[in-house]
Amino acid sequence: MWRNGANKDVGLDEVLLDAVNVSSLNQSRLEGKMELPLARRNVFVVAAVFVLIAGGFLWQLFTLQVIEGAEHRSVSDNNRVQEDVIIAERGVVFDRYGELLVWNEEDYADVYDFPVRAYTDRLGLGQLLGYVSYPQKDSKGFYFRTEYVGRNGIESAFNEQLAGTNGRRLIEVDALGDVLAEYAVETPEAGEGLTLSIDAELSEAMYQIIASSTAQSGSRSGAGAIMDVRTGELIALTSFPSYDPEVMADGDDVALIASYNTDERFPFLNKVVAGAYTPGSIVKPFVAYAALAEGIISPNKTIVSNSEIVIPNPYTPSQPSIFRDWRAHGVITMREAIAFSSNVYFYIIGGGFQDQRGLGITKMSEYFARFGFGSKTGVILANEQTGTLPTPAWKAEVFNDDWRLGDTYFTAIGQYGWQTTPLQMLVAYGALANGGTRFVPHLAKDTVGESTDIALENDLLEIVHEGMRMTVNYNGGTARSLERKDVAIAAKSGTAELDFSKTHLNTWAAGFWPYEEPRYAFIMLMEHAPYENRLGGTTVMGKVFDWMAIHRPEYLTSDQTNE
């Protein structure tokens, strides 16, 4: 005991504690246990740990408040007040009579926090109106696209006019992200409205007539348009089949959109503007004018059509080249050749035969180009095609072959390599009708479009007009289904063979009215019809005139304003 230190004090409990009384103590209450003081070293260790922890907290506090204080304050402020875009409403679209075609509606499905686009239920206007893609947010709710994007048609062509100017607002939120208040900083400006030259009801009627006629005739598709030849305004325009713009804008009906994409009739294609087709005989009035202007033939000179012309083959005399007519027309002049659509007559004035010289492909191409074939019309709608105007240079480039007389013959009747859009043909017929003004077709109501004077001679045009009128009212004329008592129509029919086996063809009707004072030109295409089909473009266009006589009689007179 003395070895551990002479000065160690002995407590009373140590004196009284012995083996005798230990067993009577309550061990669970620590009776009989000796308490020893903590070692000073342990106190220092515990104190050091506490000091380190406190120091860490103080350093972190210093970092947050001093070193990174400005950054965290900015984050805090941004979390409390957020800036957001206010999507501007897009401009609305009316037809020429004030009927609403495109407008904005509240999104009742609560998918978007801006107005959604709504479109007319009228049929056949899909390609004309187009559709939009909506502004889009990312997964965090921030806009990565803040504008409506016009997709095709009017929505694309007039996007700048229809698009508004977005506004800006500040949103105050609490710590949980709930909106406490909103403050508009910049008020959005709605887009400008647009009134089209298009008559929506007439366009729908034309669409429905084409649709029922394709079902009846077996045609694959069709298209039609009407233009004011004094201003260049497009009054009607439709393409069958079409699509629902609202379905495309919403994007929800995946199955229907997929069916649009796989439809072999190409419902997204505006066939009036972006479809290129073999025209057939509707080019003959332009060949007739060129022949008159170049002094190739007198309008009263007769040519005998016995259903074919035969060109000798100097290399194989037993195999001459035979160019056939669709029937024997007998003795005919130019007016009758237009009315009866004689191939033989136009073979001869186009390429020459025996003692009758022809225009030749160079001159013929010059006149075709003057009327606008082989180039775009300049319409504001997207995807317009230039078509194809057959020439020796074109054949050399495409087929690496020389031009032959037979190529000239077929070009003169709208066959061979010809490709034209219905709109090109409409503009060309407009120039025939109005005396030589080739308009850029447009869609703005009550405005006169840009134009080019192609310098046509009125006395020569009169001969062509007379032939086109005979096409409608003369026995044997190929557009007799357009003869009417309420208005005089001048027209030309066309049938274009699409293959050597003669299984399918395009049928056309083109012309203008009223004959005495032309106001409107029209074009009608029934595309890819069975060869045996007898429901041609002139019959279909005749039904459109029947509809107008009841619902739009004002169109059938020359002195009216269409207000």
Half-sphere exposure of 299 (CA within 13 A, CB side): 18
* 382: helix, strand or coil: coil
Reference 453, options 434, 471, 466, 468; nearest CA is 434
* pLDDT value, residue 54: 78
Residue type, 171: I
Residue 327 CA, chain-centre distance (Å), reads 41
Before 514, cis peptide (omega within 30)? yes
Matching residue, tokens 């006395």: 459
Reference 413, options 390, 432, 387; nearest CA is 390
pLDDT tens sequence for the chain (563 residues): 444 445 555 555 555 555 555 565 555 555 555 555 667 777 777 777 778 887 777 777 777 677 766 666 665 555 566 777 889 999 999 999 999 999 999 998 888 889 999 999 999 999 999 999 999 988 877 888 999 999 999 999 999 999 999 988 877 766 556 666 666 678 899 999 999 999 999 999 999 999 999 999 899 999 999 999 999 999 999 999 999 999 999 988 999 999 999 999 999 999 999 999 999 999 999 999 999 999 999 999 999 999 889 988 888 888 888 998 888 899 999 999 999 999 999 999 999 999 999 999 999 999 999 999 999 999 999 999 999 999 999 999 999 999 999 999 999 999 988 999 999 999 999 999 999 999 999 999 999 999 999 999 999 999 999 999 999 999 999 999 999 999 999 999 999 888 776 788 899 999 999 999 999 999 999 998 887 777 889 999 999 999 999 999 999 985 554 44
Q: Tell me how far apart the alpha carbons of residues 244 and 198 are, in angstroms, rounded to a whole number.
A: 18
* pLDDT value, residue 508: 96
**Backbone conformation region of residue 452, classed left if phi is above 0, alpha if psi is from -120 to 50, else beta:** beta
The sign of the CA dihedral 99, 102, 105, 108 is positive
* pLDDT value, residue 436: 97
Which domains does the chain show, CATH number per domain?
Answer: 82-195 (3.90.1310.10), 200-556 (3.40.710.10)
Can you give the pTM of this predicted structure? Answer: 0.83
Both tokens assigned to 107: 């999104």
| Helices then strands, each counted (H, E), the chain | 19, 22
**198-222 per-position pLDDT tens digit:** 999 999 999 999 999 999 989 999 9
Q: Tell me how far apart the alpha carbons of residues 212 and 539 are, in angstroms, rounded to a whole number.
A: 12
CA dihedral 510, 515, 519, 520 (to 10 degrees): -20
* pLDDT value, residue 535: 84
Half-sphere exposure of 42 (CA within 13 A, CB side): 3
- All residues at 6 or more sequence positions from 184 whose CB lies less than 8 Å from its CB, including other chains: 86, 167, 168, 169
The sign of the CA dihedral 202, 208, 212, 214 is positive
Q: Tell me how far apart the alpha carbons of residues 440 and 25 are, in angstroms, rounded to a whole number.
A: 118
Paired residues of 128 in beta bridges: none
How many other β-carbons are positioned within 10 Å of the β-carbon of residue 215? 9
Q: What are phi and psi of 330, to 5 degrees?
A: 80, -150
Q: Tell me how far apart the alpha carbons of residues 97 and 104 are, in angstroms, rounded to a whole number.
A: 19
Q: Tell me how far apart the alpha carbons of residues 511 and 235 are, in angstroms, rounded to a whole number.
A: 15
Report DSSP state, residue 240. E
Long-range contacts of 385-388 (CB under 8 A, 24+ apart): 385/273, 385/274, 385/275, 385/276, 385/419, 385/421, 387/276, 387/418, 387/419, 387/420, 387/421, 387/424, 388/276, 388/417, 388/418, 388/419, 388/420
Matching residue, tokens 């008159």: 292
451, 439 contact by CB (below 8 A):
yes
* pLDDT value, residue 3: 47
Report DSSP state, residue 38. P
Q: Tell me how far apart the alpha carbons of residues 141 and 87 are, in angstroms, rounded to a whole number.
A: 14
Burial class (CB in 10 A: 0-12, 13-18, 19+), 288: buried
**Backbone conformation region of residue 218, classed left if phi is above 0, alpha if psi is from -120 to 50, else beta:** left
Both tokens assigned to 415: 């066959």
